[in-house]
Amino acid sequence: MADAAPSPHGTPHSSPRTDTKGIVDAAGLLARTRFRRHLAAPALRPYVEQYWLIDWDLTQPYASHVVPHPSVNVVFQDLPGQEPFAEVAGIGLDLFTQKLEGRGRVCGVKFRPGGFRPFAPSTPVSAWTGRRLLPLTEVFGPGDWDDWVEAVLSPDDEHARVAALDAFLLSLGPTADPQADHATALAERIRTDRTIRRVGDFAHAEGMSVRALQRLFAAYVGVGPKWLILRHRIHEALEQAELETDVDWADLAATLGYADQAHLIRDFTATVGVPPTAYGNSGP
């Protein structure tokens, strides 16, 4: 399925992504919740990949699992038995699990890799990596955050929620930063170009030293370029396992640039928590 991505001139496409990359048991999640994606306002699209909205009303609890993307998220949540709240979630390094029960609502902002730093320019994005439940005050400083939580979560109309997310981000006034733009462009290349397999080769092709590339990614993306390469491989493998019942794992391993099938199976199992054979009828 097609992804929404910036063009070479920095103008994002006009529709949100429609793939299920990163979602474990995507069919199960989509059957139990109302999951939608929306684009941000045009002025925000260089920074924000998409908004994601989930509503549910369940009679039985359900545990959702996601293999995290290399993205910082701001998440507004209305969960059973809790006061509505918002948090900043840095890039997750491990499988993310969220128990859904009763009736709830979540509205999230998924930033492009490199796109969050302009909203919090004083702190390297790596400072947030592996952390969630970060209050907005800790990241953005003092503000009328409770008012924004109500503005985003209270409307039943999802377009009103999207408009509130736009207003929230525009109120933060992203700071233009060419280095952030550069990091976003490099991260997008890694995501879309399957021939990029070695950090050293990629850095050389971009006229950078490996060390300079790693410093740029630590400051603006939050994880290193090698992590991105490996994570996108797993996302691709997971989506193929979701879509196909008879995956040729040896062929997929070669397509994704693995030395052999065993390395793909090892990385998949370590990241997702179960071997890839759990997603199809074919053996490894």
Give the CATH class of 23-172. Answer: mainly beta
In whole angstroms, what is the distance from residue 239 CA to residue 202 CA?
A: 25
Contact between 107 and 76 under an 8 Å Cβ cutoff? The reply is yes
pLDDT at 194: 82
In whole angstroms, what is the distance from residue 265 CA to residue 268 CA?
A: 5
Stronger pLDDT, 214 or 255, i.e. the higher one:
214
> With pLDDT > 70 as the criterion, what percentage of the chain qualifies?
93
Residue 146 banded pLDDT, cuts 50, 70, 90: very high
Reported as half-sphere exposure (CB side, CA atoms, 13 A), residue 127 has a value of 13
Closest by Cα among 123, 74, 80 to 99: 80
Helix/strand number for the chain, H first, E second:
10, 8
- The amino acid sitting at 163 is A
pLDDT at 4: 40
pLDDT at 201: 95
CATH code linked to domain 178-279? 1.10.10.60
Mean pLDDT of 183-211: 95
Residues 6+ apart with CB under 8 A from 183: 113, 114, 117, 216, 217, 219, 220, 221
Is residue 6's pLDDT more than 70?
no
Q: Where are the domains of the chain?
A: 23-172, 178-279
* DSSP-assigned letter for residue 191: H
In whole angstroms, what is the distance from residue 161 CA to residue 174 CA?
A: 20
Adjacent-strand bridge partners of 51: 38, 109
Q: How many CB atoms lie within 10 A of CB 56?
A: 18
Stronger pLDDT, 243 or 179, i.e. the higher one:
179
pLDDT-wise least confident of 91-105, 110-124, 176-190, 265-279: 265-279
Cα radius of gyration (the chain): 19
pLDDT at 3: 41
